[in-house]
Amino acid sequence: MTARRLTPPGAGAVAVLEVTGERARSRLAALLGRPLPDAGRVSLGRLVAEGETLDEVLVVRRDLGAVELHLHGSPAVVRAALAHLGGEAPAAAAAPAERALRAAHRAPSRAGARVLLDQAAGAFERGIARLAASRGAERAELAGELLERGRLLRPLLQPTVVAITGPVNAGKSTLFNALIGRDEALVSDVEGTTRDVVAGACELDGRPLVVLDTAGLREIGRAEGQAAVEAEGMRAGERAAARADLVVALGAGVGAPVQGPPVQRLSARADERFGQDPSRWPEGALSACLAPEHAREVVAGAASAALGWSGSGAEVAESLAGLSAPFEPWMYAALEGALAGGAAGARLETLPAELARSAPMLDAAPSGR
């Protein structure tokens, strides 16, 4: 029974745990109170232990052997989850090239896998050798270039969470199905059909996403019976949206949190107002039912504008071809810390050795406990 962190220790917005082993998966299902999703699927749930809710989590089933938990990055929450899942498991140490090769086999995007294979083939090692041969301002400049490449690579390796929000019958579930490429969410003209958060994984313009379909927002009188269930669904959607990296809001007049992720407002069901020709629709208008591929392009453009993405995932991978790039979260932190100390900083002096060190394999084989 094993459970370990994939993200670095310490506080952060989100922490990711990996759970492996049959006993661990059974324990996780018991804490969730429901079966785990099938391989390649994503679900939203709550970890509940001894009647107490530990956290609301995204459950990502990469394959039959491993499950990822995306939860709040509070150290106390992470410690509690690890304690109930069997504690931190030891992981075998390996050099960067071997870790990159292992990571390529489980990369969530083809573009990300391509860059990781480059790192495994020697690009990362060459970059660190060049960094080690430099001094002072030159080393700081090279470290800055590495960090910038890491920022370009990160969205290819770590799925971006996109929550779709809006009033009832705004076209949220239809857009969700168009983005993930299958009919996962129930689509109906009946208001309040979606009452739980539905999650699905996909690639959009070469970048991996986890898309969340949330309950439609509307005024409810007395929250009793089925209305109470719908109201709880709306609250669950609001919590999920607050934790997302991006909110795609469909329909006018829908409020957005004062603090939280960026919000891109789009207009769905455009064919009902602007006709059947997408080329004549205004910017930000889409119809996932009539023109699903056009809808994907609109959302990709909105995400790029909100999150500062430049080019497609394939274009980013092409720009990084043969170049060294940091590919693990702790590497970004090491580069940022070294650069914060300036060209004469002590940490910049030790940076090449720090980046080249052997580290735990994030996807090492289960220990069999």
Q: Which distant-in-sequence residues (6+ apart) come within 8 Å of 236 by Cβ?
A: 44, 56, 196, 197, 214, 215
For residue 203, the one-letter residue type is E
Tell me whether residue 142 is in a domain: yes
Tell me which residue range forms the domain holding 143: 93-157+328-360
Nearest to 44 by CA among 28, 24, 30, 60: 60
pLDDT score at 310:
92
Whether 42 and 170 map to the same domain: the answer is no
In a domain, 322, yes or no: no
Please classify residue 237 by burial: count the beta carbons closer than 10 Å to its beta carbon, then call 0-12 exposed, 13-18 middle and 19+ buried: buried
Burial 126-165 (b: 16+ CB within 10 A, else e): ebbebbeeeeeeebbebbebbbebbebbbbbbbbbbbbbb
CATH number at residue 54: 3.30.1360.120
Same domain, 6 and 109: no
297 has pLDDT over 80: yes
Which CATH number goes with the domain that contains 202?
A: 3.40.50.300
Amino acid 252: pLDDT: 63
* Longest Cα separation, the chain: 70
In a domain, 365, yes or no: no
Is position 134 within any domain? Answer: yes
How big is the CA angle at 43 (ends 40 and 47), to the nearest 5 degrees? 125
pTM of the model as a whole: 0.78
CB atoms within 10 A of CB 273: 11
Q: What is the mean pLDDT of residues 121-125?
A: 96
Residue 227 clears pLDDT 70, i.e. is over it = no
Q: Express each pLDDT in 54-111 by its tens digit.
A: 888 888 887 667 788 888 878 888 888 888 887 665 556 789 999 999 889 888 999 9
Closest CA to 175 of 152, 200, 151: 200
Which pLDDT score is estimated for 211? 93
Residue 368 has pLDDT above 50, yes or no: no
Domain stop point among 23, 52, 85: 85
Q: Examine residue 261 and state whether it is found in any structural domain, yes or no.
A: yes
Q: Is residue 366 part of a domain?
A: no
Cα 286–chain centre separation: 24
Which of 39, 61, 85 terminates a domain? The answer is 85
Count how many domains the chain has.
3
Are residues 297 and 229 part of one domain? Answer: yes
In tens, the pLDDT along 12-41 reads 667 888 888 888 888 888 999 888 888 777
Are 143 and 170 part of one and the same domain? Answer: no
Among 85, 114, 147, which residue terminates a domain?
A: 85
| Mean pLDDT along residues 182-207 | 75
Q: Are residues 182 and 275 in the same domain?
A: yes
For the cut 50, the answer to whether the pLDDT of residue 364 exceeds it is no
Q: 30-34, 57-61, 135-139, 172-176: which range is least confident on average?
A: 57-61
Q: What is the mean pLDDT of residues 147-175?
A: 93
Work out the average pLDDT over 207-219: 86
Read off the amino acid at residue 316: V
pLDDT at 223: 57
| Closest by CA position to 1, among listed 36, 18, 25, 17 | 25
Q: What is the mean pLDDT of the chain?
A: 85
Helix (H) / strand (E) element for 265: namely: strand 263-266
What is residue 280's DSSP assignment?
A: G
pLDDT at 352 over 80: yes
